[in-house]
Structure 1
Amino acid sequence: MKIYQKLLLGFILISLLVLLVGSISIFSDDQISNDISQLVNSSLKEAEGAAKMNYALQKTQLNAQRLLSERLREIVEPAEAASAIVAATRANMEIHKAIVDFEKWLIKGREATNQGVVLAGKAGEKDQVKEEKEDLLILNNIGLQFTEYKAALSQFIVLTKEDLDDADEWLKDVVNPLLINVTQRVHSYQEDTEGELHAEAGEIREAAEGNTKIMLTTTAIALCMALILGLSSAHAITKPLVDLKIAVTAIGAGKLDTRLVVNSNDEIGVLLDSFNNMAKDIESANSELKNSQHQLLQTAKLASIGEISAGLAHELNQPLGTIGMIAEFATKLLDDSNFDRDNFRQKMQKITTQVDRATRIITHLKIFSRKEEHESEEKDINWIIEESLVLLKEPLKLCDISLDIELGDRLPKIICNYIQIDQVLINLIKNAQDSFDNFDNFDNSYNKLITVRSYEKNETICIDVEDNGSGMSESVVDRVFDPFFTTKPVGKGAGLGMSISYGIVKEHKGILSVTTREGKGTLFTVALPMKELT
């Protein structure tokens, strides 16, 4: 039964006058409900399109990096050339699929925006018409920028088949800036659509208030029974609209699992059902985006392992060499007629010590590189620091870099994902190590030093990673946490380490800050709260 039919039946029982006034109010309410339903549906489609376009952009960039990596693996590791070619082909297909998805959702966004222009025009909302036209202009600009980005991406794919150095340089200097430009415009469009959702929530509130006033006017003409029935009807109509307004606000605030209970099959019931479907699609798109971010995080972890692999090989060769020499000596002891059991036992204990040393390195490497999610748990920050240094002490030693560790005593434990904090420390220490690569202000006698310290300050547990390397200029500091920004040579870094570290610390409700003096050194500070994550 329609809304106006429900109200009409109640007013017939009172009088012909109340029936006439009630019919007018029902017709008005029906029109308002339909207009609101169509406007909110249009804005929800625009918001969904923005989220999908964002996801498609992330997907193209992720697979572009994967394509470059697989082409490099095809050259560097001939034994795995076949699998690398298959993986590169798959990445190429994913890039084209993401491009098609982006263009599809761009078209849908234009259709939804055009529909919003028509609906706002019919409703006489001049300001809304102007906003929708501005959104349409933004979409057209996004389309033009994406065309440039698509062309640059196509050139990048061609270069990966011809010259990987040129492809890497093209990706960093041309494709990535275009991606950032398109992403910024999509974000601007997404913010506009969220603003429209908030504005339409206000219209829903105004419509609900106006409908309540109509009902009160009607009941003032009729008897006390008409007053009771009018208030009851107003509540039955306005409550779902108010609930919708609250739900739209919650979606805008990031609570994507918000859903509404649908108790009727009328226009408002259809509106609430449409909202639930749209919210589900947006949540799904956001989940896919988070999965891509997790894959990017895993890629960065594996890249860190690759950068320290030479030091790890040296670190493992030492205990293996020691074991070999002791085993050879022990064999000679067994052949000696004057066999010394105590001496033999000491040699065996040395073998056990070296095996434990190698086992600790391999165990930490396995934990660090695995893909599974790690739950947050209570950990001692000093233990995390010491564990992260298991993989880094030998690479630093090979680079003639001294390591000074200053750990605070009896620091309170924190709730954290220790594998993620471990990755942050590895990224910061690797960054400090790299600061010495192009630093010409010292000779062979210069003491290259990295200091790692922990301490408590203002109800936070702090970790400092400080070096006396080259430092950074103001322009570099301003962009040090930007994705894909790097000052390293081509092929040495993708510009993800600092950005990922910043995101991990932020997820832990902490702060990652940097102070630096060009030519003097850099200090990164991680401050984590001493309370459980929410």
Structure 2
Amino acid sequence: MVGSWKNFHLNIRQKVIVGMALGLVALGIIGAISYRSLLEIETKVKFVEVADDLLNAILELRRFEKNFFIYKTLEAIEENERYSEEALSILTRISPKLRSLEGGKKLQRIESSLEDYRKLMADLKRAASAQKPEEIQRLEQPLREKGKELVDLAQDLVYFERLRILGILKALKAQLAGSLALALLAGVLFVALVARKIVRPLKVIEKNMLRIAKGNFAPLPVMDTRDETQQVVEAFNRMVTELERRQDQLVQAKKLSSLGVLTSGVAHQLNNPLNNISTSCQILLEDLERLEADFVRRVLTNVEQEVARARDIVKGLLEFSRAKEFSILPTRLKEVVDKTARLVSSQVPPGVRIETRVPEDMVVDMDPQRIQQVFLNLFMNAIQAMRDGQGEISVTADYDDAGEQVYIRVRDTGCGMSEEVVSKIFDPFFTTKEVGEGTGLGLSIAYGIVEKHRGRIEVESRQGEGTTFTITLPVKHAEE
């Protein structure tokens, strides 16, 4: 049974219905409480009426008590007894329901005090009948004190019950105001529910579709609502996962495409060390018997250096082309920049110079292979922007004031871009190149890679003045 309740969840429509039903139930409960308060007020009013009658009877018996001590007549004592009986009758007529109220304890004290008062009055009557002035004088003070106590108790009872009625009325007004506030709150919550469950998810999806269009494939957090909203977000995240997988494939395809562009230059780069190795080997083979040991050692050392040079060229290509999972590692930024510069060196015209000013000790959490892809795209675009084969590409890096971010700037002295082109530069498939010369995906992919590193990439450019790309990366990368 418990397991079945755990699997029981409401959709948005059912939640709206349940919410409205709960609001009506809450209003009904408040109405019932208010009705109960009205019944309590009615009971209190009846009790106050009885307490007023009791107070009047006590005041009358006290009046005749004073008359006796002034005129010393038995008629005053008899009238006192009559009102004393009336007060006692009022007390005996009070129902158990009224006695159960908070003023019931005060009634017990009044009954006890009235009983003592009646005994004193009986003693006073006997002394008056026997004409004992000393006894009358002795009873006068305790009788007056007990009578005053009776009046105080009765007045206190009336005052207490009236305060209770005022308190109930105040609480009733608060309950009615609360009912109105609850009704307004229920209306606001209903509107908020519709906005949160329907309007807000649609806006979030719209916003994130724009984010995905820019290459940021971060998934949405899934709230455990077990309704249509959760289903839509889960479907959205599945779509994002698939898009991210396809984007990784696209990055790899772009890398292979870049390798095709670099192939001719790499062949030239490999040709030089191979020629040197071949020449050195021919020298050794022709005159090996006549050559001195030191000369042979120098030639072999040169062969070893050229082999290492060729190996580094091939290793750089293999590392760049190899597909890897996204992995954040503390990496020296200068090594990544220098490695990329060496990779594109075969494509750099003689009149173009690449200058790097990156601190040796600058370490940033990054995926070095993907950041290398970003630099490669920026370098290739910068080289192509210098159409006359003359200019400079500079790479600089520095920390922000807090030391939590690095700013990497890639500047070129190429032809620059117009404002219209700058506004679309990171859009997928946007390119200013001729058909067949580019896909328009390089900068879009670069944007997505930087976003995945929780960074930013921005561009400033003017026609005829060159272009500056600024990459902002966190020094320490906090994985979600």
TM band (smaller chain): 0.5 to 0.7
1:174-213 per-position Cα deviation (integer Å, ceiling 9, x unaligned): xxxxxxxxxxxxxxxxxxxxxxxxxxxxxx5x65543322
Verify: 1:532 aligned to 2:465, yes or no: no
Match of 1:355 among 295, 307, 327: 307
For residues 327 and 246 of structure 1, do their structure 2 counterparts lie closer, same or farther at Cα, with a shift above 3 Å needed? farther
| CA distance in 2: counterparts of 1:34 and 1:361, whole angstroms | 60
Match of 2:408 among 463, 479, 488: 463
Letter in 1 for 2:394: T
Verify: 1:417 aligned to 2:367, yes or no: yes
Residue 98 of structure 1 is matched in structure 2 by none
**Mapping 1:102-501, distance limit 5 Å:** 204=15, 209-220=19-30, 252=204, 256=220, 258=222, 260=224, 272=226, 279-334=233-288, 336=289, 338-396=290-348, 398-411=349-362, 413-437=363-387, 439=388, 447-458=390-401, 459=403, 460-501=405-446
Verify: 1:508 aligned to 2:453, yes or no: yes
For residues 531 and 250 of structure 1, do their structure 2 counterparts lie closer, same or farther at Cα, with a shift above 3 Å needed? farther
Give the Å deviation of 1:423. Answer: 0.5
The TM-score with structure 1 as length reference comes to 0.50
Paired residue total: 302
In 2, are the aligned partners of 1:469 and 1:519 still within 8 Å (CA)? yes
Give the Å deviation of 1:520. Answer: 2.6
Give the Å deviation of 1:278. Answer: 5.0
In 1, are the aligned partners of 2:12 and 2:227 still within 8 Å (CA)? no
Give the Å deviation of 1:249. Answer: 6.4
Letter in 1 for 2:331: K
Partner SS for 1:289: helix
For residues 424 and 326 of structure 1, do their structure 2 counterparts lie closer, same or farther at Cα, with a shift above 3 Å needed? same
Partner SS for 2:409: strand
The TM-score with structure 2 as length reference comes to 0.56
Give the Å deviation of 1:245. Answer: 6.2
| CA distance in 2: counterparts of 1:424 and 1:405, whole angstroms | 16
1:52-81 per-position Cα deviation (integer Å, ceiling 9, x unaligned): xxxxxxxxxxxxxxxxxxxxxxxxxxxxxx
Partner SS for 2:376: helix
| CA distance in 2: counterparts of 1:467 and 1:305, whole angstroms | 22
| CA distance in 2: counterparts of 1:360 and 1:246, whole angstroms | 57
Give the Å deviation of 1:362. Answer: 1.3
Partner SS for 1:392: helix
* 4+ runs deviating over 6 angstroms: 244-251
1:230-256 per-position Cα deviation (integer Å, ceiling 9, x unaligned): xxxxxxxx9xx98x9689968947755
Give the Å deviation of 1:320. Answer: 1.1
| CA distance in 2: counterparts of 1:323 and 1:367, whole angstroms | 24
In 2, are the aligned partners of 1:454 and 1:463 still within 8 Å (CA)? yes
Partner SS for 1:523: strand
Letter in 1 for 2:459: V
In 2, are the aligned partners of 1:378 and 1:414 still within 8 Å (CA)? yes
In 1, are the aligned partners of 2:197 and 2:229 still within 8 Å (CA)? no
| CA distance in 1: counterparts of 2:200 and 2:310, whole angstroms | 55
| CA distance in 2: counterparts of 1:348 and 1:508, whole angstroms | 45
1:18-62 per-position Cα deviation (integer Å, ceiling 9, x unaligned): xxxxxxxxxxxxxxx78815xxxxxxxxxxxxxxxxxxxxxxxxx
Which segments of 5 or more consecutive residues in structure 1 lack a partner in the other structure?
Answer: 7-32, 38-203, 224-237, 262-271, 440-445
| CA distance in 2: counterparts of 1:221 and 1:521, whole angstroms | 76
Verify: 1:36 aligned to 2:17, yes or no: no
Letter in 2 for 1:213: G
| CA distance in 2: counterparts of 1:386 and 1:531, whole angstroms | 22
Letter in 2 for 1:453: T
Verify: 1:518 aligned to 2:463, yes or no: yes
Letter in 2 for 1:406: R
| CA distance in 1: counterparts of 2:227 and 2:339, whole angstroms | 51
Which segments of 5 or more consecutive residues in structure 2 lack a partner in the other structure?
Answer: 34-188, 209-218
Letter in 1 for 2:351: D
| CA distance in 2: counterparts of 1:257 and 1:390, whole angstroms | 41
